[in-house]
Structure 1
C-alpha cells in the first residue's frame, strides 16, 4: 500500500505535471483528498485574488535574501513574485515589492542606511531590523508604487522619527508603546517612483523593521513578503519566534515558504533537530494567523564542495517527513508540501556546468534563482 509519505510527495509533484511512481501494484489508486491537497488554502486564496490579496510569506536564509544575485530583484523570491503575477494576473494591478527589510545591504536590498544606524537580528520579519539610536540617523528607500507602510517596534522608552516622501515631511511618529507590529501608512500616492526617508528625531531609540510597498495591489493581486536572512538556521527562527511572529498579523499569509536547513547541516545541527524546528515554526505561524495557510518546505540539492560529518540525505529525509507527518491541513491531512528541488537539478557540489550556482557552489546565480522561481511556480499553481 502506498504510504502517507509517498502520497504527500505525489501531491506536490503532480501539481508540476511530473510523473510519480508509487509502491502500489496493479491499477493506480487515487490518493485520499486530505493527503493530496496540502496547497488547498493557497489555491483558494489565489482563486480570490481579484477581490482580496493572495499572500505569500517567505522565511529563509541567504538564498531567500538573494545572496549570489547581481542586484535587488534578482533573487528567487522577487522573481517568484514576478512569475506568479504573470501566471495569475489581475487587471490594473502591477504589484509592489511588498516587503523590503530596513537592513541596508545594497547589493541585495535597496535600502540606504546613514549616520551610524545599527543592524538588529532580534526583531522584524526575517529577524532583520535597524536601530536608529541618535537623532539624524536615517533610512532611505526608492520604490515604484502607490503606497508604502513603515513597519517598526513600539517600545516603552521609544523615541520618535519623521517620515518624508519625495522630499516633503509627511508625518512625525512617536514609537512609545508596546508591540512588534506597529506601522505607519502613507495613504494613496500617485503611481510612479517615490523616495521615502525615515529619520530619527531623538528622545530614545527607534527600531525600524522595513518598508511594505504596494503598486495597486493594496487590496488584491499576489503579494510576496520576503523574510530571507543570510546565515540563519531553523533554530534561529524557532527560538526567535516572538520577534517575527507578530508581523504575521500584518501579512495574514495564505502560503508560507520555509527555505531553512542548509545552514543547520553546514553547522552540525542534527537533521532531527532541524525537523523539529520546522514543525515548531509551522505551529507558530498557524497560531498567529487566521488564514489557515498552506506551507512549502524547500529542500535543495546538496550544495557546497566540502565534506560534512552529517549525510545530506538525512536532511532531505527530514524535509520530506515534515510534509508527510503534518496533520494541520484540510480535513486533518497535511497542510505542507515538499519542494524537492533536488529532483529537478543536479547537485552543484558534483556538477555546476549549467551555471545555476555561484563559484561557492552554495548560492544561486541570477539564472539559478529564476530556475528555482519557475520550479516553485510550477509546484504551487493549481
Structure 2
C-alpha cells in the first residue's frame, strides 16, 4: 500500500534486525555540504528561552538518532533514557496542576527482541503494515489500505494524530465515540503544518484512551498514519518530547529525503534537537563522508524558520566504541563529529562522560549492557538519563 506516489519517499538507510554491530545506532551521508550558517553566539539560547517560559508555552525537545536514542536494549518503553530524561525535566520544570504527557510516539517502533519487545504497541490491527520509507519523525509509520483498522492505547487530556498528506480518507474514534473523517488529500487543510498533517483532539479526561483509525472498504487510496502526541494537561506548557529515532538507521536515513524530513521536523516546532548518529555509518562510511553527511543534516536543522538548539552526542567517545566495526580510527570519527558541531555552532556532548569512570577504566560495562552486549540495558539507560537530565535541565 502506498499513498500518492509523488508523496512517497525512498529509504536509503537499511534497518538492522540482527544482533550485530550495525544494529547499534543510526546515521548516513548525502552530497556536498552547503555553506555553514553563522553559529549562534550562545548555542543554548533557543532551549534556555523555552525553559524560561514553560508556565505559558511548551519547551519542545526532539530526540533524533539511532538505537541509542530509540531505546534498543530497554525492557520497556518507559525505561528508555529519553523517557526517563523527559520525566525528570517535567518534574524539574513542573507546572501547577499539570501531570505531563509522554509526547510523540510513532505508529510502530524499530526495536527488536529479545531485549526490546515493544516495537508493536497497538492493541489491535487489521491489514496494517509498517512503513519505514515515509519521512515521518524517525521514519516509523504504518500503512493502512481499504478495510484496514488499528487501535492504540493513548493516555492524556489531549491527543495529536499525525498523518501524511496526499493519501486517502480515514476515520478516527476515541473510546468508541462517533467517528470523524479526515481527508488527507484535501489541499490547504488547516491542520497541515510543514510536511505533516496533525489533527488535534482536546477535552479528554486525564486517563487511558483507545484511539481507533479505520479506512473504509471502498477507499481507493491508502493512508499513512505517522504517530501520536499525547498531552496530559501540558499541550501549551511544560516539557514535551518528540521521539524521532530509528534503530539501525544512518545519517543517510534522514538525508535521503532531507526536505521531506525537515518539513516534518518543522511541524514539531522543536526548541531543542539532540542527535545520536555515527556508529552505524562507521561500518562502511569514512570519517570524511560521515562529516559531510552529518554536516548537511545539522545545517538543515539549523536552517529551520525557528532554529533550535542542537546537541550533537559523540558516540565514539566511550568504551562502546570498541563494540562495532568502522572504516577508520575512533579519533578520526570523533574529529569528524567535533568538526560538525564546531562548524554549525552546536553543543558537543561526549557519550563517554555519561558512563561511570571506574567501569570505563576497567573496560567492564557488562552490567550496563543488554544481552546483545552492545546496547545499554535499563541500568545503562538510567545512567545516561541522569547525565542528560543535568545537561538539558540547565
Confirm or deny a common fold (TM above 0.5).
yes
The answer on 1:146 being equivalent to 2:122 is no
Which moves more between the two structures, 303-312 or 67-76? 303-312
The answer on 1:298 being equivalent to 2:293 is no
The answer on 1:239 being equivalent to 2:249 is no
Whole-Å separation in 1 of the counterparts to 2:264 and 2:323: 37
The answer on 1:286 being equivalent to 2:299 is no
8 Å Cα contact 2:101/2:156 also seen in 1: yes
8 Å Cα contact 2:162/2:227 also seen in 1: yes
The answer on 1:325 being equivalent to 2:347 is no
Give CA deviations for 1:7-33 in whole Å, capped at 9, x if unaligned.
Answer: xxxxxxxxxxxxxxxxxxxxxxxxxxx
Partner of 2:14: none
The answer on 1:259 being equivalent to 2:271 is no
User: Pairwise mapping of residues 62-73 of structure 1 onto structure 2 (< 5 A)?
Assistant: 62-73=67-78
Whole-Å separation in 2 of the counterparts to 1:348 and 1:96: 38
User: Pairwise mapping of residues 346-357 of structure 1 onto structure 2 (< 5 A)?
Assistant: 346=359, 350-353=363-366, 355-357=367-369
Partner of 2:389: 377
Q: 1:192 aligns with which of 207, 211, 216?
A: 207
The answer on 1:312 being equivalent to 2:330 is yes
Q: 2:348 aligns with which of 322, 338, 346?
A: 338
Partner of 2:284: 268
SS at 1:117 equivalent: strand
For the aligned residues, what is the CA RMSD? 2.3
Whole-Å separation in 2 of the counterparts to 1:207 and 1:306: 34
User: Which blocks of at least 5 consecutive residues in structure 2 are unaligned?
Assistant: 1-38, 111-116
Offset at residue 347 of structure 1 (A)? 5.2
User: Pairwise mapping of residues 352-363 of structure 1 onto structure 2 (< 5 A)?
Assistant: 352-353=365-366, 355-363=367-375
Give CA deviations for 1:110-137 in whole Å, capped at 9, x if unaligned.
Answer: 33462231222222111121110231x2
Residues 60/264 of structure 1: CA separation in 2 closer, same or farther (3 Å cut): same
Whole-Å separation in 2 of the counterparts to 1:312 and 1:183: 41
Partner of 1:364: 376
User: Pairwise mapping of residues 82-101 of structure 1 onto structure 2 (< 5 A)?
Assistant: 82-101=87-106
Give CA deviations for 1:298-321 in whole Å, capped at 9, x if unaligned.
Answer: 113242545544222222222222
Give CA deviations for 1:52-85 in whole Å, capped at 9, x if unaligned.
Answer: 1111001111121111110122111111111111
8 Å Cα contact 1:271/1:314 also seen in 2: yes
The answer on 1:131 being equivalent to 2:143 is yes
The TM-score, its normalising length taken from structure 1, stands at 0.81
SS at 1:161 equivalent: strand
Indicate the structure (1 or 2) with the bigger Cα radius of gyration: 1
User: Pairwise mapping of residues 173-252 of structure 1 onto structure 2 (< 5 A)?
Assistant: 173-177=182-186, 180-201=195-216, 202-252=219-269
SS at 1:154 equivalent: coil
Residues 349/319 of structure 1: CA separation in 2 closer, same or farther (3 Å cut): farther
Whole-Å separation in 2 of the counterparts to 1:289 and 1:58: 19
Give CA deviations for 1:212-264 in whole Å, capped at 9, x if unaligned.
Answer: 11111100110110011111101211222233222223221111001111111
Whole-Å separation in 2 of the counterparts to 1:210 and 1:348: 41
SS at 1:380 equivalent: helix
Q: Which structure would you say has the larger RCO, counting Cα contacts within 8 Å and 6 or more residues apart?
A: 2
Offset at residue 278 of structure 1 (A)? 2.1
Residues 338/361 of structure 1: CA separation in 2 closer, same or farther (3 Å cut): farther
8 Å Cα contact 2:84/2:385 also seen in 1: yes
Which moves more between the two structures, 97-106 or 292-301? 97-106
Whole-Å separation in 1 of the counterparts to 2:370 and 2:294: 27
The TM-score, its normalising length taken from structure 2, stands at 0.79
